[in-house]
Structure 1
Amino acid sequence: MAGNSDPLTPRAKLAVTAGKAVAAASRAAGRGSGSVIGGRVALKLDPDLLARLAQNLDVVLVSATNGKTTTTRLIAEALRAAGPVVSNALGANMPAGITSALAGGSDAKFGVIEVDEKYLAGVARDTDPKCIALLNLSRDQLDRAAETRMLAENWREGLAGSKAVIVANCDDPLVVWAASSSPNVVWVAAGQMWKDDAWSCPSCGGVMQRPGDDWFCGECGFRRPTPTWALSGDHVLDPHGSAWPIHLQLPGRANKANATSSAAVAAVFGVPPQVALERMYQVQAVAGRYDVVQFQNRDLRLLLAKNPAGWLETFSLIDPPPAPVILSVNARGADGTDTSWLWDVDYTRLTGHPIFVIGDRKLDLAVRLEVANQHFQVCDNLDQAVQMCPPGRIEVIANYTAFQDLRRRVGN
């Protein structure tokens, strides 16, 4: 392909125009943003469109089970210090949604792209990224996604010999295994709260030893690499040993970890940590996550948690007891239809909170809470749950489609 200032062939331009028209029609019909259907149409007309759109951009790919939408936003904000950015900020993270997002960024210098774990290797092939951020891998959507070890293997094979700088979390053994096939890796100590998917060695299957924050396999010697970037309390430690304060409007340790990885990515493009971290303060909420909204004269904080690792991080954010908590779980296509993951979540962490349960699978969740000896009430809908909540800010935790339902109901 020619590297001229306009990489788009007439066919590619037609594909972009058609995709935008279909997306606009979808929006007008009230069927969402239209980015996925628009991208599908565009790729049908020109299967090479994603590669063509990416070729004049410095591309960053972000993949993980948890935190990729937020980290994509933080990186995009940091890189705006160095030039215009195009990004799939609303989380449409498969090839059609990514194509749609890039088609809207004709003047951009950087493409900051969230990628679904299953599609990472293919999108990396198409977009020739300068940098790939790998944050974590844990069980998610059991009926759709491959088992985590298979996903790590898929990443490892797909990224072998990649020219990209891989920014990888050295605290997650599955991520380390996946990244180790690449010649150019920047290791970040971002932490790992959820460890239940990494007790066996991804390299040989041996039992993983985990003294303190370290980990290693006693059988084959696979071990935690030495990081050059690290999260330390409220600071990012850079490769020179300097500590930079993290100021975020987003809550929790997980978002400090996301900011640390984002600072390491920004540095690959020459944006210094101080500048990157200052810019990240602009991010207040990500696609409605962490928003505090007024509903029925109450303050509700909306929190997204899609899988056991995500629920564990979310429990660490919520106000202490007796803050009321509403839990909502669906099992539609986008959530994964298998709810057996609920048994992997430690709901005893909600002891002392008044709990109210809603959503398509409220009875599945009720059984799980009963076994965990939690006091809860099952409600028909959000309105009823809010009316029954005792005073105080209400923490509302929901999985993916349940979260979208809540946002529509509260007008967010």
Structure 2
Amino acid sequence: MLSELPIRKIIHVDMDAFYASVEQLDNPDLKGKPLAVGGGGKRGVVSAASYEARKFGVKSAMSGVLAKKRCPELIFVKPRFSRYKEVSQQIRKIFFEYTELVEPLSLDEAYLDVTKNKKGMLSASLIAQEIRQKILKKTGLTASAGISINKFVAKVASDYNKPNGQKTVAPEEVIPFLEELDIRKFYGVGKVTGEKMYRLGIFTGMDLKQKELTYLEKHFGKSGAYYYNVVRGIHLSKVKPNRIPKSVAAERTFFDNITSEVYMIEKLEHIANELEKRLKRNKIAGKTVTLKIKYSDFTTQTRSKTLAYFIASKELLLETAKELLYQEKPKNSVRLLGLSLGNLNTEPKKDKPKTQKSISIQLRFEF
């Protein structure tokens, strides 16, 4: 029961088409035109698309060739991450005017816990509205927001009235809101899982709620318990200001597909070198090496190995990467290779779980 759970005031702020909007802001000639940030050549990939481009079905991670086919008038611009980071820092300063409990997910989105806030404001909805107005005044960019009792519902709600809007889901509205929601709009349900749920006759939150925990665990493994809880409004994850990375990665897309393992090793050497720089810069080491292979047909394969000791050097990274590569001959020509290091020495040691006491509150909690 929601009334038996600790209810917080969580805001999820999500910038609208952030990279593309920054480009249109800095170059007024691009305003109102279909725009893609990324490469438009045969090896290019869309990093972000303006709303004008999205109307044609252009979206992030799409190949530049397909994007151009869907929208012949599409304009490509190269990403300027230093500029995006600069604007992102301006936005985060606004967040910290209201709370220290800010958890950035990326340059363009973050969670804020405003249950107790620096302004002493009772309404999380008004805080979100104020933040969005300040972002617009400071940067000239629009943001959308979701406001609710936990991170999951706030994240889903922020997408509800995009662009330049917000959606509040008060405690008493959470269950009806989730029951009516298309399952594909649930955060954490990707394309493949969404299609699987549709095949199982799960189209809405209400359909999901009808399924027993054992049924969901049978069909979705460990994620089954997550789906079982979130559709009931249960998501106890707190806003974590100092978000610790679970892995560090580097990857490279090639101008031409490669088939020779000799060339792959050569490319992996460069990738391992870049990964080593990132690890040393952040003083991080890890035990689990993962090799990512994306083939010419865009299918992706990962292979991992966990070592008995922490590593951070390019030599050990490359040695493990070679071992993973030679496990199985690549099934096709390769367009991308990547290396990541997980099981990091930054991860806190897990303590024995403590029994949490439920907190009963009244639903006259102002949102």
Bigger Rg, structure 1 or 2: 2
Is the TM-score greater than 0.5? no
TM-score normalised by length of structure 2: 0.26
User: Which is strand-richer, 1 or 2?
Assistant: 2
- Compare relative contact order (CA 8 Å, sep 6+) and give the higher one, 1 or 2: 2
